[in-house]
Chain A
Amino acid sequence: MSQSRSGASHSVTWKLHLAILICALAYPFLFTSNFAINLGVMALFYALIGQSWNLSGGFAGQLSFGHVGFFGFGAYASTILQLRYGVSPWLGLPAAALAGAASAGFVAILSFRAGLKGSYFALITLAFVEVFKIISNSVEFTGAGLGLLIPKKIGFENFQFKDRLAFYLIILILTALSVATAEWLRRSRFGARLAAIRENEEAAQALGIDVFTEKVKIMLLSGAVCGTGGCFFAQYFLYIDPSIAFGLDKSVEMLLVSMIGGQGTVYGPLLGSILLAILSEGTRSISQVQGLSLVLYGGLLIVIIAFLPHGLIELFKKIKPSQSRGTDA
């Protein structure tokens, strides 16, 4: 996505950010049913982890199929700290971020040192996640195959709330922070360098960019964001196990919402996630059968890659030509 932005459009972008934030805040007060709020929570959750994928996959062009691994590390980290060491689940958030970053850093350093890129990198991330899944399935520390159950104890200090609205607001804050991170990235030198790396690694090196270090840095950031999603998920569902923590489905969904919404854009993952939520609900009302929404989403991915490679957000740009000069929504 183009890094360029003209000064005049800065104020317009702020208005857009504010508008979206207000809509998101208003949503649970307009649609107050438990069902609607849960839908909102999940949409924001996938926007959050989708954004984490987007940071490394979209902005930096490092396609990963194993991002769920960082989510899983985050979820297990905060849960284990809570259950075995009595650490407050609120501290679990930064702990999860650290765990996510560490696992991402581990994968990144090994893979990038070996010079893996493109499809090979995507595949090796898959293999790493498999390893994580198998290990967590086999050791008592992570509860093995049974997983870990967080005992229900409603209370702010336990990061458990009776009212889903509280969870909604928390995920909204987390997602907003991830959007802010993406926006910061877009405007920063770091982000520009990542775009250069994404487009042409050799040319980037020739201009003084330390490709290896920058790639590791963005994976660390991406892993951290993904990890916080893990902590939230564990607290929301009070349960985590290897197939949830390291299952392919989340990897795929993270990738899908970003690619379909708009990879390398600030609001792409959110757009993709909202669309997925609408699709799931829409198809559920048509048929009770599980899977229809993903069938459509899979087809949509193909269509997007073939015809609209910058994602659906491109459509919005076409509608507003006055802002189009480089403003990334």
Chain B
Amino acid sequence: MLKVQGVSKSFGGLRAVDQVSLQVEQGQIAALIGPNGAGKTTLFSAIAGFHKIDNGGIEFEGKPIANVAPHKIARHGLVRTFQITQPFARLSVIDNIIIGAYQRYSDYEHARAHAEGVAEQLGMTKILEQPSVSLTVVGRKKLELAKALATSPKLLLLDEVMAGLNPSELLETIEIIQKINKSGVTILLTEHVMQAVMQLSSYVYVLSYGQVIAHGAPQEIVSNPKVVEAYLGREIVDA
């Protein structure tokens, strides 16, 4: 469904993403992992249209989307969430979600109904009228997810959704993501929380210094020495 081929992106002299290729099949949950600064969020932003790429190509459902405006990509059904949550501050929770729903529905009643449905899926029904700025961390993460989900996406790019969650919130979120996937949404996520990666994804790409250094099923990846090295640093492995 999503094909990234040889994509590179530099900022000034720094190569943030270096000849990255990856693929996500429809219905899959794929993960992109790697140490901090590996270029995961840059890659996400590029896929979603927020960065122009220097070379390579990106295809979504067979259509080329590299360097296409972000809103057009979102309208094709490829929707991202932000690592640092970006709520519409002065709107209530439900109004935030309705903005997402408006992508599919043009009138308020239908958009609201759909938004309420999404909120219920995520267990947010009690906080609908709250101002979005008053939410807790997990509330904000859920809202970020709800907004994206309300657009009826085909593929979701989830950027470190699990960061900052406690164990029970983590389990809840993992369940939610599985439900979303079962309902037909393909997912590509980046994560640091390995538990989530192992439980959710069926395929993993590992990014280090902007390059894909390994990819495969989660079990293979975890025991791959190159991956361990990337996370822990060369000296420790050599020692």
- A residues within 8 Å of B by Cβ? 1-4, 187-189, 192-193, 195-196, 199-200, 202-211, 325-326
Residue among A202, A207, A209, A325 having the largest count of chain B Cβ atoms under 10 Å: A207
Q: B41 at interface (Cβ–Cβ under 8 A)? A: no
On whether A189 and B107 interact (CB within 8 A), knowing A199-B88, A200-B86, the answer reads: yes
Interface residue total, chain B, C-beta cutoff 8 A:
35
Q: Which residues of A contact B74 (CB under 8 A)?
A: 205-208
Q: A328 → chain B, closest Cβ, in Å? A: 12
In the bound complex, do residue A206 and residue B80 qualify as a contact, i.e. CB atoms below 8 Å apart? yes
In the complex the two chains form, what is the Cα distance from A180 to B172 in whole Å?
45
Q: B34 at interface (Cβ–Cβ under 8 A)? A: no
Chain A residue nearest in CB terms to B131 = A2
Chain A residue nearest in CB terms to B105 = A189
Q: Would you give 10 A-B contacts (Cβ < 8 Å), ordered by A?
A: A4-B94, A195-B88, A196-B99, A200-B87, A204-B71, A204-B88, A205-B50, A205-B69, A207-B79, A208-B75
Q: Which residues of A contact B81 (CB under 8 A)?
A: 206
Q: B119 at interface (Cβ–Cβ under 8 A)? A: no
Chain B residue nearest in CB terms to A61 = B90
- Beyond the given pairs A2-B92, A207-B71, A207-B103, 8 more chain A to chain B contacts, judged by CB atoms under 8 angstroms and listed by A's residue number, are A2-B95, A4-B95, A4-B129, A188-B108, A189-B106, A192-B95, A206-B70, A326-B92
In the complex the two chains form, what is the Cα distance from A1 to B88 in whole Å?
11
Q: Which residues of B contact A193 (CB under 8 A)?
A: 99, 102
- B residues within 8 Å of A by Cβ? 48, 50, 69-72, 74-75, 79-82, 86-92, 94-95, 98-100, 102-103, 106-108, 111, 129, 131, 147-148, 151
Q: Which residues of A contact B111 (CB under 8 A)?
A: 189
In the complex the two chains form, what is the Cα distance from A261 to B152 in whole Å?
38
Q: Out of B71, B89, B95, which one reaches A208, CB within 8 Å?
A: B71
In the complex the two chains form, what is the Cα distance from A224 to B100 in whole Å?
29
In the complex the two chains form, what is the Cα distance from A206 to B102 in whole Å?
13
Chain B residue nearest in CB terms to A3 = B95
Q: Which residues of A contact B80 (CB under 8 A)?
A: 206
On whether A3 and B89 interact (CB within 8 A), knowing A189-B107, A205-B70, the answer reads: no
In the bound complex, do residue B95 and residue A206 qualify as a contact, i.e. CB atoms below 8 Å apart? no
Q: Which residues of A contact B99 (CB under 8 A)?
A: 192-193, 195-196, 204, 207, 209
In the bound complex, do residue B89 and residue A192 qualify as a contact, i.e. CB atoms below 8 Å apart? no
Chain A residue nearest in CB terms to B80 = A206
In the bound complex, do residue B88 and residue A206 qualify as a contact, i.e. CB atoms below 8 Å apart? no
